[in-house]
Structure 1
């Protein structure tokens, strides 16, 4: 794959970025060695950036892929902490478990925060401090809000933005897909790197995966797209798509026929409502003492699974 400059960071990245969320316990819970082989396959094929987060619990999966690897790989993590002490712990854990001295990007993981520059100002300051210490190369914002993307365009210290965008606008919390696309173009014009998330709306657009991925890839200002992949077949198919190589129609029709869903193990659900509060898309509710999901609203982000005290929610 040809590489693309990620804004003003100096990083030349593959337009296909490996999103590691599906590998971890919030979704597929893939064994470390198996995940390591899959990630290494992607690296060997030219993918050179892996996206993770404290919430994903995939540091070990990535470490397994990087063991003995001599090529270039940019590593991105995120902290959802609300206080600087915890944020530092998240970054230090990522460094320790990934066995690296510096992370290429660390995002304020602020999907549900409309104004992270106010509500997470202390976290931004902490990440900038760790950048000065040499532990972080670039500071970014991960968000589902158009308003946050627009604010990032005017923030001198934010180098990279990781926005939610898909052609249906599913999961965007304050506007439409068109409005988010306009904000992305604005923030890229300001010199920020942009790599998108949820191009398939967490699997809801998988039946039109090729068109949906191309839509996001081709938006003005988008330098890359993070895609969760669970097989070498998916990796190879996406590399062909992002490289504009000939596509195997039969293979893609098979991939597009698959459907993922949120599974709540009702027998063990205590009806606490923690998942409802965590849902960014108002897809969950508690009815008759049990959590229920509206599959038309669910974007399969897995945030609800991360807060379930009984560990009874999975994306399958």
Structure 2
């Protein structure tokens, strides 16, 4: 049997040099560029395990009057146009009177592609029966998210315990996929951060401070630029707990008439890192197109 070959120093150096040449000659692998962010991306909603379109179609401008004034056909066209542009999140509430409008507008669309969020006001006697009514009005088997609507004080979770318990039960049964709260006022907002029951927060946010949360528990007392830092502080605490955050009042309750104000607010919402998604109420396809354009431009810089 031949003895094993012992490599010489010259052979070792020759082979090492050849290997180095191969390594040098191989082009370095380049990391693929990150996909460009857009307004219609499906993004994680906090740590809920759900995904939501970054831009939502709001149906509650002036309590839903703006959208209802479009009529059924006009509303259908707007929802379908939004869907065709990639907007699959629809935001509604019992108080807006748009549930049945939405049922007509989404008929025939794939349910699994839609994210439907609605809101329950007050403390109804039988919240689970109310949820059944919502599903019939909307023409769906389940709701992606249901919020207890317009909490105003620091005792809202105790006062609405029947609703919170019912929404928890509904989530366990698969009737809803997530639950949460919308607040009007800093006392309620602060308490919402503390309540572990909350999956999703609908927060009022714009850098101008228009119609954001004010210092009292009066639902219609808006804040301003002086209350904005406290609102932001609460949102950051919510995010730290893994909550889903959706921004509203991005167009200042429809009062941002100047393009500069709309640009400033949308840019802030997209670049601040405070929200997962936003809901904006539209009255026309032109308004929707403008929001998409402004959001995409702001996201391109992130």
Name the structure 2 match of 1:229: 282
TM-aligned CA deviation for residue 152 of structure 1? 3.0
Q: Name the count of aligned residue pairs.
A: 246
Matches within 5 A, 1:92-241: 92-171=132-211, 172-174=213-215, 176-207=227-258, 208-241=261-294
Name the structure 1 match of 2:218: none
Encode CA deviations 1:192-221: one digit per residue, 9 max, x unaligned.
000011122212223211112222333333
Determine the C-alpha separation between the residues in 2 that align with 1:206 and 1:111: 28
| Unmatched segments (≥5 aa) in structure 2 | 1-39, 216-222
Determine the C-alpha separation between the residues in 2 that align with 1:219 and 1:88: 37
Determine the C-alpha separation between the residues in 1 that align with 2:272 and 2:286: 26
Encode CA deviations 1:61-84: one digit per residue, 9 max, x unaligned.
211221111260100000103234
TM-aligned CA deviation for residue 41 of structure 1? 1.0
TM-aligned CA deviation for residue 24 of structure 1? 7.2
Determine the C-alpha separation between the residues in 2 that align with 1:91 and 1:6: 22
Structure of greater Rg: 2
Encode CA deviations 1:254-312: one digit per residue, 9 max, x unaligned.
xxxxxxxxxxxxxxxxxxxxxxxxxxxxxxxxxxxxxxxxxxxxxxxxxxxxxxxxxxx
Determine the C-alpha separation between the residues in 1 that align with 2:190 and 2:289: 34
Equivalent residues of 1:162, 1:194 under 8 A apart: yes
Matches within 5 A, 1:29-68: 29-68=69-108
Q: Which runs of 4+ in 1 moved over 4 A?
A: none
TM-score for both structures, normalised by structure 1: 0.72
| Unmatched segments (≥5 aa) in structure 1 | 248-316
Determine the C-alpha separation between the residues in 2 that align with 1:55 and 1:213: 26
Equivalent residues of 1:54, 1:90 under 8 A apart: no
Q: Are the structure 2 counterparts of residues 245 and 181 from structure 1 closer, same or farther at C-alpha, using a change threshold of 3 Å? A: closer
Equivalent residues of 1:150, 1:186 under 8 A apart: no
Equivalent residues of 1:161, 1:194 under 8 A apart: yes
